[in-house]
């Protein structure tokens, strides 16, 4: 395993501020991602997760999960390798109650032992969103306060993180790689090539419960004010931020490395 330089002294500075250490970290992550892509070329899903969790990043990797409509599959795969891997859930204060109950249900069912519900800074909310309606005035700013900034803080202790993004979700995800380097961390997308049929088959094979809102036409579920039912024939995320020139909350749009 290639170590991050000076982990003990500076672990977790994931976004560059121009310092020499941040440049070192970005270069480290770029090289690490390239090495892992070459070493594990052709692997996906659990076959990719197992060596990355057990050998490459033991104790230094987290999963980020929305506990949305497809989330149970990746959560199950990670739990089967190591149920103690930290799972970060962004508790924005705007979720559907169904999502919060689904989170609790999956946590218990899969035996996850370290699910971390991470919320926004109360001072930031008081200053920028005192009436809770920022999602109408400035959805990007709302996402930054409630998702991007809290996730950045939560990921600081880790060298790598796991996402459930897939190419079939469209938009900026069409050319998604299994392993990326983003802002000084390695980002792992083990289900990048999974189609809706693949996901359905995994749900059935593992007898996983579906998100309760999926049956009502919500194929991608985020915060309640910014989530609608997905129109027939549209890509799964078409119900997010309907009518706005926005397809991502911002946690996946940081400048990427190689």
Residues with a known catalytic role: 249
Residue 108 Cα distances to 31, 50, 187, 222, 229, angstroms: 37, 22, 26, 21, 28
Say whether 16 sits in a helix, a strand or coil: coil
Contacts of 78 (CB under 8 A, 6+ apart): 49, 53, 63, 85, 87, 162
> Do residues 139 and 243 make contact, with C-beta atoms less than 8 angstroms apart?
no
Sheet with 185-188, side-by-side order of all strands:
115-118, 87-90, 61-64, 160-162, 185-188, 179-182
The rounded distance, in Å, linking the Cα atoms of 134 and 157 is 30
- Distance between first and last Cα of the chain: 19
The rounded distance, in Å, linking the Cα atoms of 256 and 180 is 7
């Amino acid at each position: 395993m290639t170590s991050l330089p000076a982990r003990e002294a500076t672990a977790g500075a994931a976004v560059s501020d121009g310092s020499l250490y941040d440049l070192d970290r970005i270069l480290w992550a770029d090289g690490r991602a390239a090495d892992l892509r070459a070493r594990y070329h052709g692997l996906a899903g659990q076959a990719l997760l197992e060596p990355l969790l057990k050998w490459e990043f033991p104790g230094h990797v987290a999963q980020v999960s929305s506990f949305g409509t497809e989330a149970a599959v990746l959560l199950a795969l990670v739990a089967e390798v190591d149920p103690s891997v930290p799972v970060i859930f962004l508790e924005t204060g705007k979720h559907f109650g169904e999502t919060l109950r689904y989170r609790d249900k999956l946590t218990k069912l899969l035996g996850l032992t370290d699910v971390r519900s991470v919320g926004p800074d109360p001072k930031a909310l008081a200053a920028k969103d005192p009436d809770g309606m920022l999602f109408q005035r400035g959805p990007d700013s709302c996402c930054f306060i409630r998702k991007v900034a809290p996730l950045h803080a939560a990921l600081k202790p880790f060298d790598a993180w796991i996402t459930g993004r897939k190419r079939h979700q469209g938009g900026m995800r069409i050319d998604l790689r299994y392993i990326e380097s983003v802002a000084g961390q390695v980002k792992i997308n083990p289900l990048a090539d999974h189609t809706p049929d693949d996901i359905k088959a995994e749900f059935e094979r593992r007898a996983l419960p579906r998100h309760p809102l999926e049956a009502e036409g919500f194929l991608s579920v985020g915060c309640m004010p910014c989530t609608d039912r997905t129109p027939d024939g549209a890509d799964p995320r078409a119900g997010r931020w309907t009518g706005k020139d926005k397809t991502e909350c911002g946690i996946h749009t940081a400048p990427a490395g190689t």
